[in-house]
Amino acid sequence: MKKLLFTIFLLLSLNQGFSQSILSKNYKRYSLDLDLGLNSFHGDIKGKAGFTFATKFNWHLTSAFAANASLDFGTINGNDKTRLNSFSNSYVQMMFGGEAYLFNILGFNVLSNKFQPFIGIGFGGLNSNIKKSSISEIMSTERHSGWAFCWQFTGGAKLKINNSFDINAKLSLNNTKTDFIDNYKPIVAANRGNDAFGEYTIGLTYHFGKAKKTSLIWKQTNNTFFGIDLTQKRGRNNNKIQVNSNQESSSEKRQYINLENPTTDDIDDNEFDCIIKF
Structural domain boundaries in the chain: 2-226, 232-277
CA atoms within 13 A on the CB side of 171: 4
| pLDDT for residue 2 is more than 80 | no
Mean pLDDT of the chain: 78
The mean-pLDDT minimum among 19-33, 122-136, 194-208, 218-232 falls in 218-232
DSSP code at position 215: B
pLDDT at 15: 47
Please give the residue that has the higher pLDDT: either 215 or 191.
215
pLDDT at 109: 74
Residue 225 near residue 197 (C-beta atoms within 8 A): no
DSSP code at position 268: H
Would you tell me which CATH number, out of the four given (3.40.640.10, 2.40.160.20, 3.10.20.440, 3.40.190.10), belongs to the domain 2-226?
A: 2.40.160.20
Say how far apart CA 90 and CA 72 lie, in whole Å: 11
| pLDDT for residue 218 is more than 80 | yes
Beta bridge partner(s), residue 40: 198
Q: Which pTM value belongs to this model? A: 0.70
| pLDDT for residue 228 is more than 70 | no
Stated length of the chain: 278
Query: By C-alpha distance, which of 69, 66, 171 is closest to 125?
Result: 69
pLDDT at 116: 94
pLDDT at 33: 97
Cβ-based burial of 143 (10 A; exposed 0-12, middle 13-18, buried ≥19)? middle
Q: Are strands 146-160 and 115-128 parallel, antiparallel or unpaired?
A: antiparallel
| Share above pLDDT 70 across residues of the chain, in percent, rounded to a whole number | 66
The mean-pLDDT minimum among 102-106, 123-127, 167-171 falls in 102-106
The mean-pLDDT minimum among 29-38, 62-71, 128-137, 232-241 falls in 232-241
